[in-house]
Chain A
Amino acid sequence: MGGRAGFFEVEILDWKTKKPLCFLDKVEPNATIREIRLMFHKSYPRWYPARQSIKLDPKGKSLRDEEILQHLPVGTTATLYFKDLGPQIGWTTVFLIEYTGPLFIYFLFYFRMPFVYGLDERFTSSPHPVVNLACICHSFHYIKRLIETVFVHRFSHGTMPLRNIVKNCLYYWGFAAWLAYYINHPLYTPPSYGKKQINFAVIMFLLCEAGNFSIHVALSDLRRNGSKTRKIPYPTKNPFTWLFFFVSCPNYTYEVGTWISFTIMTQCVPVGLFTLLCFIQMTIWAKDKHCTYLREFKDYPSLRMPIIPFLL
C-alpha cells in the first residue's frame, strides 16, 4: 500500500477526533518535519507552522522541525497527529512588549502625569536625589533587557501561545506601576541610612547587572553556530561567570541580586514584594533547568546548585 517507489505517504489526523485532515503523497524519505509543516500549512492556511504540533502519538510530544521522516518509527505510510497550539507569538516580540511597558509606565509616574498624583502635583519633581537615581536604574535595567532581547538572546523555541502575553503583561506592567507609584510619590521617604545605604545599593546594582549581562553573553556564545541543542555552560575568563562553578543559572542569581539592590536603594515595600515574587519564580525556573541539565548530562558538575550557591 506504499506510494511510488522510494516515496513516503503521510496522513495527518486530528489528535482528538482522529479525523483525517490531510493526505500527502510523494513525500521524500529525507523530508524534515519542517517541510511537512509547510505542506500542511498549504492545505490549512490559518494553521501556520508555529502553531502546529505534529506528533507520532496523539498524547505524545511534539516532533521537532529537524526530525527526518525516514528516521522516525513509521512505515512508508506514516500516520501523524496534529494539534492546534493556538495563536502564537514570537519570543522576541513577547519580550519587547513585556519590557517596553514597564519602561514607559515608570516615566508616567516619574514625570508625575496629572492623572497619577492629582492636578496639584502635576509635573513637579521630587526633592530627593535617590528618586532620580531609582529612575535611572529602573530604566537602565529595562533598556538593557531590550537590547539583550534583540542582540544577545538565542531562543530554542520560536514562539509562545498568545494568551500568555496578556497574563505576563498584566503582571510586569502592573507591578511596575505599583512600585513606580510609591517611589515617585510626593510623600516618598528616602532610605533610613541615607547616602551609605544608597551608595551600597548602587554598587550592588551595577555589579549584578554586569554579572547578569556576562551570563547572557556566555549562554548566547554556546549557541553561536545556530544550533538548538543544549550544552553545559562553563565559567570563562570573565570573573562574573565564575558563579557557574556554584550555580546552574547564575543569570537568575544576578537578577535577584539586582532587585534586592533596588529594594535597598528605594526602601520600598512594594519593591521588596516584587523582589520576593521574582525570587520565587526564578527559583522554580532554575530548579527546572537544573533538573534538565542533570538528566541530559551524566557528567554534570556536582557542586552546582540551581540558583543559590550551596543552598538552593
Chain B
Amino acid sequence: MAVSGSGGSRADNGYGSQQPRRRKGPGALATAYLVIYNVVMTAGWLVIAVGLVRAYLAKGSYHSLYYSIEKPLKFFQTGALLEILHCAFGIVPSSVVLTAFQVMSRVFLTWAVTHSVKEVQTEDSVLLFVVAWTITEIIRYSFYTFSLLNHLPYLIKWARYTLFIVLYPMGVSGELLTIYAALPFVRQSGLYSISLPNKYNFSFDYYTFLILVMISYIPIFPQLYFHMLHQRRKVLSHTEEHKKSE
C-alpha cells in the first residue's frame, strides 16, 4: 500500500530492514551513506510536518494545506526511489520487488494523482494521507538511523510497530478518497488516456485504470496490515523477554 506503515511492511524480519545483523551487512562506507540518507529523510519529513503545522496556524483552518508543503513532499517522497536501489545493490536486506511496489505506489499517488489532477489538491482527503505519511516516515527513518547506529530507543521501536495501527487505515482512506475524487476530472479531460484509432494500435483508459487501482486495495491492504500486526507481536514480545532476562 502507499502507506508503508510504521510496521515491518518490508520483507524483513521485523528488526529493521536496514540493520546489519545476522548477515555480513553493508560495509562501513555503505553504513555511513545509509545513515546520512536516513537522517536527511527524517529531516525532510520533519520539514513537511513543521510546514503543515505552521500553515495550519497561519490559515486558521486545515483546508488546502497541500500547497504549503507541495514541494518538499514531492522531493522527499520521490527521493524514496533510492531505496529500491539500496535493495538492488544489497546494502539493505529487503526484497527489491516489495520495496519497489511500495515506493512506486506512493510516487504514483503523489505525481499521477495529486499533482496531475489539480482539482483534488484542495480535498481534505489529501491532508489525511499526507499527515499519515509524514508521521509514519519520520518514525520509520529515525528508526533506521538509530538501528544503523546500534542505539535504538525502545520508544522509537514501539512507535514504529504500534502507531501503524491507526496511521495505516488513515493513510489508505485518504488515498482512496483522493483517487475517488479525481475520477470525474480524469473522465472529463481524458487525462493519460489514448483511444483508437492510432498508429500504435493501442488504447488506455486512465479512468478504468484508477478504478482497478482502487479495487486492488481490497486484497492487498488486509494482507499487509495483518502482516504488520504479526510483526508487532514478534518484535515487541521479543523485547519484553529480553528485558525480563536482564
- Seen from chain A, the residues whose Cβ lies within 8 Å of a Cβ on chain B are 182-183, 185, 187-189, 192, 266-270
Find out whether the CB atom of A189 lies under 8 angstroms from the CB atom of B199.
yes
**Distance from A134 Cβ to chain B, minimum over Cβ atoms (Å):** 11
When the two chains form their complex, are residues B197 and A268 in contact, meaning their CB atoms are under 8 A apart? no
| Minimum CB–CB distance for B225 against chain A, Å | 25
B100 to chain A minimum Cβ distance, whole angstroms, is: 15
Cβ–Cβ contact B199 & A187, under 8 A:
no
A189 contacts across to B, CB distance below 8 A:
197-199, 201
A270 to B194, CA, bound (A): 13
- Count of chain B residues near A, Cβ 8 A: 8
Chain A residues contacting B202 (CB-CB under 8 Å) are: 182, 268-270
At the interface, is chain A mostly helix, strand, loop or mixed?
A: loop
Does B200 touch A at the CB level, under 8 Å?
Answer: yes
- In the assembled complex, the Cα of A42 lies from the Cα of B179 at a distance in Å of 58
B212 within 8 A of A: no
Q: Cβ of A185 and Cβ of B201 under 8 Å apart?
A: yes
Q: How far is the CA of A189 from the CA of B201 in the complex (A)?
A: 6
- Within 8 Å CB of B218, what residues of A? none
Interface residues of B in 182-214 (CB under 8 A from A): 196-203
5 nearest CB pairs, A to B: A269-B202, A187-B197, A187-B196, A268-B201, A182-B201
| A182: chain B residues within 8 A (beta carbon) | 196, 201-203
Chain A: minimal CB distance from B54 (Å) = 46
Give CA–CA (A183, B200) in the complex, Å: 10
Closest to B202 in A: A269
CA distance A188 to B202 in the complex (A): 9
**In the complex, what's the smallest C-beta–C-beta distance from A185 to chain B, in angstroms?**
6
Given contacts A182-B201, A185-B196, 12 further A-B contacts (CB under 8 A): A182-B196, A187-B196, A188-B197, A189-B198, A189-B201, A266-B201, A267-B199, A267-B200, A267-B201, A269-B200, A269-B201, A270-B202
User: Nearest chain B CB to A110's CB is how many angstroms away?
Assistant: 15
CA gap between A192 and B196 in the complex, in Å: 15
Which residue of chain A has the shortest Cβ distance to B195 in the bound complex?
A187
Taking CB as reference atom, which chain A residue is nearest B203? A182
CB proximity of B205 to chain A, nearest CB, Å: 13
Closest to B199 in A: A189
Q: Which residues of B contact A183 (CB under 8 A)?
A: 201
